[in-house]
Amino acid sequence: MVLGVVVLAAGCLGGPSSGPTEPATTTEAATPTGTVEFHDGPKDRPDRPATLNESSVREFVSEYEYRHVYNGLWQGEYTQMTLGCRIDAVTERSWGYDVIVTCTGSSTAEPPADSTATEGVIADYFTQSYRYSVSADALARESVENRDPVS
């Protein structure tokens, strides 16, 4: 079975950004509500941090977005994945934190020659950036202007 190109709106795993950070533009009054979609796949949703601080929120958003995008690009057991993510900014708010995350990636299914599985198409995850707003009770995600690709 051949899978179609996957178009995603999600994120990535990455360590601390070595580049400059830029402030988020969400207003102090905009307390986040709700939760964020999570694609089904081989990776589970990460646990929310028990304590919100710059470090725990950075790690949580990075892992959340990476796993979300990974699951969306997944084409089965023979998936060859290239995926990179980074945190571009973490801004403390009165209600929690805003975090900007950027991911770039692609996948294809490349079964071994002796397999009956069919090769998959290349699924590109063009560079996308999102602002996660994380409070004690909620998680929100919104698209922001895309940053430079993750290399």
Q: What is the pLDDT of residue 110?
A: 85
Residue 12: pLDDT over 60: no
Whether the pLDDT of residue 108 is over 70: the answer is: yes
Confidence of residue 88 (pLDDT cuts 50, 70, 90): very high
CB 43 within 8 A of CB 71: yes
- What tokens appear for 6 in the block? 């996957």
Percentage above 90 pLDDT, the chain? 57
Token duo for residue 64: 């959340």
- Do 98 and 72 meet the contact criterion of CB atoms below 8 Å apart? no
pLDDT of residue 1: 38
Highest mean pLDDT among 23-27, 72-76, 99-103: 99-103
Provide mean pLDDT across the span 136-141. 92
**Domain map of the chain by residue range?**
1-151
Q: Give me the chain's average pLDDT, please.
A: 82
Q: Is the pLDDT of residue 15 over 80?
A: no
Q: What is the pLDDT of residue 57?
A: 98
Record the pTM.
0.75
CA–CA gap between residue 55 and residue 50 (Å, rounded): 12
Q: Which class for 34: exposed (0-12), middle (13-18), buried (19 or more C-beta within 10 A)?
A: exposed
